Chains A and B, each alone.
Chain A
Amino acid sequence: MVPTSYYVGLSAVLFVIGVLGVIVRRDPLIIVLCVAAAEVAVGLAIIVAIFRLRRRLSVDELSLMRG
């Protein structure tokens, strides 16, 4: 199996690429596009983090906002 740290590391790389796009590009529409890409990377990281904490993924058990 792939360690969860790989997933989190990958999301960090994707997030930084998104941030780089926001800094570098000039077109406002492209900047929004890069924000969307970075945001999805954060979503992936959140899912993996929940996965790691709980060892299983069920929305029934995610009513707590703390670890």
Chain B
Amino acid sequence: MTTAGQIAFWILAVMAVASAAGVVLRRNPIHSALFLVVHLATLAAFFLKMRAEFLATAQVIVYAGAIAVLFVFAIMVLIPGREETGPDPLRAQRLFAVPVAGLLLVLLAVMLRSTLFAGAGPAQAVPGGVANIGRALFTDYLFPFEVTSVLLLVAIVGVMALAKRRLA
């Protein structure tokens, strides 16, 4: 018996895998970045489907918004119109990439089956709650939250210092 949830899952799964393959296979970096936006939006839909509303929102704002814009900007500034063409210096090694990735997938499947899937029931949809996360973030986890903000500030200052030194 197929339910609406299962149909939605398979549509989203096909979209996620296809857009991920698009990121890897397209030669034009801009096309890759745009496929990544589609991919991240699909994952946000998965989070929404599992009633993790906060994660879905954060996914769209942070990944599909900020990080995607960052990638597109970086591509346009650093490698305008350049595609990966010409003879591949490491072609012999890259031919091994597909079997190696297949082996990794098999290993992951065996590992997950032996541990995680043991007695796995159906996923139950429950209200996640943006309110709960917000309350926890600003009461119990206030100190880690503020430490994270300082960490990000350090990263920003570090990037500025590195970029400045390269210009000089």
Contacts and interface: CB of A to CB of B under 8 A. Distances in A.
Nearest to B93: A23
Interface of A: 1-10, 12-21, 23-27, 29-30, 33-34, 36-37, 40-41, 44, 47-49, 51-52, 55-60, 63
A30 B32 contact: yes
B75 interface: yes
Contacts of B61: none
Contacts of A16: 101, 104-105, 108
Interface string B103-114: 011001100100
B60 interface: no
Nearest to A18: B20
Contact of B24 (A10, A20, A41, A51): A20
B121 A17 contact: no
